[in-house]
Amino acid sequence: MSAVPASPNSVTPYAAPALDPMRYQWPAEGPSRAPYWTFTDPMVYAREQERIFRGRVWHYVGLEAEVANPGDFKATQIGESPVLITRGEDGKVYGMLNRCAHRGNLVSMKENGNTKEFYCVYHAWVYNLKGDLTSAAFRRGIRGEGGLPADFKLEEHGLQKLKVETFHGLVFASFALDMEPLADWLGEVGPGIQRVMKGKVRVLGYDTQRIASNWKNYHENPRDSYHAQILHSFYGTFGLSRQSQESGMILASSGRHQYFYTKAGTEKNSADYKETADKLRSSNDGLRLEDPSILHWKDEYGDGVSIQILSVYPSFVLHQIAHSLATRQLIPTGPDSCDLIWTYFGFEDDSPEMAERRLMQTNLVGSAGLVSMEDSAVCGMIRRAIGGADDDASIMQMGGKDLESGGSSKLSERGLRNFWQAYRNDMGF
């Protein structure tokens, strides 16, 4: 199993037990199948925490705008590990575990704020914005009694530090202190991030939901580029996303990350499209909105793209749906549950009209969004359906069976196959 590089301020993470290779065998078809035991087995979940969430992976942890000023901090998680992101007095962004080096207590119980230091309420160990230990109560004892050993050094007992980098306003962190540069990790999806993050960000609000399924059920969902018109009736009925529209998919050469896009108003109907669309239960072209203003869209990026959904392995989504912009951070909470944190944003130079439109179109997304509430519901249904199915596996053969087939078509499960190949490599399956 992989190891996190040691440092003076690091703690060796718990190593998940080895898995029996005879019990955990991948289907012979390879990445076009995903065994259901990967979604349900507690030992697999523990191994994920070690090899993915505490492994050699970059994880999204927030927006730079959330820690804009010196002293600003944000509490979040990478997997099950509590994390703090701070803006130091030197203007740099830092990351560290929200876990006192003394007895493991949280050093911040607030989700965000501005501070000069972090104070552990249990035994008054105090840390600065970089995570360095600056003092410990009764370190020298009282009247010659107690105290820490003479060789105790404050600089050796700081908070466990993470490697942190930013990319066009997004903050990522990793337990691997020698992690490759973030831009290299993102690869070919970097331009997709740069496209959306075009200005200085202004946070509009948050939405958090608990999803009753394994985290991978949800991560598959925004990578699945052809379910939109089928599952989401609002999309197809009102023309936000249809398979007949001009679209495409960009997949990073690593296979870990992808984004797809759709251009509204570019319908090219054909007999084979109509044959399927007419049979979809989610299709009803006869419906009209009494107030269609929620559908209003103008090409603010100048490329005709009305929807772009970008996924970064293993737990991050950046979306543009019309004028709704948001990040989605996926946090596993157990083999059969996860939290999804939506952060809605606009830009500081948005006109009042655009700011209002972004706020209105947040109703399209989120836990009760008109085009996204079905996602968490279907993830929950999958969890129920695969109970007791450890000897079975899903099938992902739309557009082909291997990692290359399907090309840049949105009518493809190529992105899913590549996700599972990356997952297998990281997990050692």
Q: Is the pLDDT of residue 253 over 80?
A: yes
Query: What is the DSSP annotation of 3-48?
Result: -PPP-TT--PPPPPPPP-TTTS---TTGGGEEETHHHH-HHHHHHH
Domain at 59-168, CATH homologous superfamily: Rieske [2Fe-2S] iron-sulphur domain (2.102.10.10)
Q: Is 243 left (phi over 0), alpha (psi -120 to 50) or beta?
A: alpha
Q: What is the CATH number of domain 188-427?
A: 3.90.380.10
Number of residues that this document lists for the chain: 429
Q: Is the pLDDT of residue 1 over 50?
A: no
Identify the residue with better confidence: 119 or 282. Answer: 119
Convert the pLDDT of each residue in 344-402 to its tens digit.
Answer: 999 999 999 999 999 999 999 988 888 888 999 999 999 999 999 999 999 999 999 99
Gyration radius of the chain's alpha carbons: 23
Q: How far is residue 63's CA from residue 316's CA, in Å, rounded to a whole number?
A: 12
Q: Is the pLDDT of residue 315 over 80?
A: yes
Task: Give whole-number Cα distances, 87 to 96, 131, 164, 210, in Å.
Answer: 12, 11, 11, 29
Q: How far is residue 344's CA from residue 103's CA, in Å, rounded to a whole number?
A: 36
Report residue 8's pLDDT band, with 50, 70 and 90 as the boundaries.
very low
Positive or negative, the CA dihedral 416, 418, 424, 426 is: negative
Q: How far is residue 371's CA from residue 227's CA, in Å, rounded to a whole number?
A: 12
Average pLDDT over residues 21-40: 91
Q: Is the pLDDT of residue 9 over 60?
A: no
Q: What is the DSSP letter of 406?
A: T
In degrees and rounded to multiples of 5, residue 366 shows phi and psi of 85, -175
Beta bridge partners of 114: 72
Domain ranges of the chain: 59-168, 188-427
